[in-house]
Amino acid sequence: MATRSQRLQGLELLENGVQNQELVPNNHYVEEQNITNADWRTNCYEYHPDSRIKRRRGPTKLANVENLPEGVKIIDKLDRFNVPCSQSAIVLGSYLGTLVRKPHLTPLNILQWNHKLYKRVYYPKMISEVERKFAIDGRANNWILHQLDGKLRQYKSKLKKGYYKPNLPMKRALQTVPKTVAESQWATLVSYWYSEDSKEVNGVEVD
């Protein structure tokens, strides 16, 4: 019998090809730890299948989705525009946000989302990761990729805001590699921030 986190309650699941298997949450353990429903809704805590509960710090990691038992998937239904429309679409959106922070799926040294290498190698990898945890029709792939593009832009923008300063020497920025970024990819991204192309794109006058 699989265990569902509070965040996943009310969602339809597919287990080994069978829909709506009953997944019983360990509410008693949650009560013992004095965890509020508000904390669960904001994903301040993550619930693991072995009954461990950890308080989340930093970006959402969605351990409750990552640790779903093998063969269990969250069902996402589509509307007539092939856009996820069920309650689980919110969880899917959060999950996509975790994927763009994984260097092996969205390498930051490839600067353009529509680069041919992204299309040939990384688009399929990301779709495969989604299909590993979600039972969703392939007609949603364009929507998924569009969402990933937006979330990757947001992630890069957050990195730039935190690590790039016009008056900071590039050498200093190169030495401060975020934990979520592969060191081999960081130099290319930082160099782009300091380049004339980046300044022109962002509307900054270049001497």
**What CA–CA distance (Å, rounded) separates 129 from 141?**
12
Going residue by residue through the chain (207 aa), what tens digit of pLDDT does each one get? Answer: 445 555 566 678 887 666 654 443 334 333 334 444 444 334 444 444 444 445 555 556 677 888 888 888 999 999 999 999 888 898 999 999 999 999 999 999 999 999 999 999 999 999 999 999 999 999 999 999 999 999 999 999 999 999 999 899 999 999 999 999 999 999 999 999 999 666 656 655 433
Is the entire prediction scored with pTM above 0.85? no
194 exposure class (CB count in 10 Å sphere: 0-12, 13-18, 19+): middle
Residues 74 and 134 sit within 8 Å (Cβ to Cβ): yes
Question: How is the beta sheet containing 13-15 ordered, strand by strand?
Answer: 18-19, 13-15, 72-76, 134-136
The predicted pLDDT at position 197 comes to 61
The predicted pLDDT at position 18 comes to 63
The predicted pLDDT at position 68 comes to 85
The ranges assigned to domains in the chain are 6-163
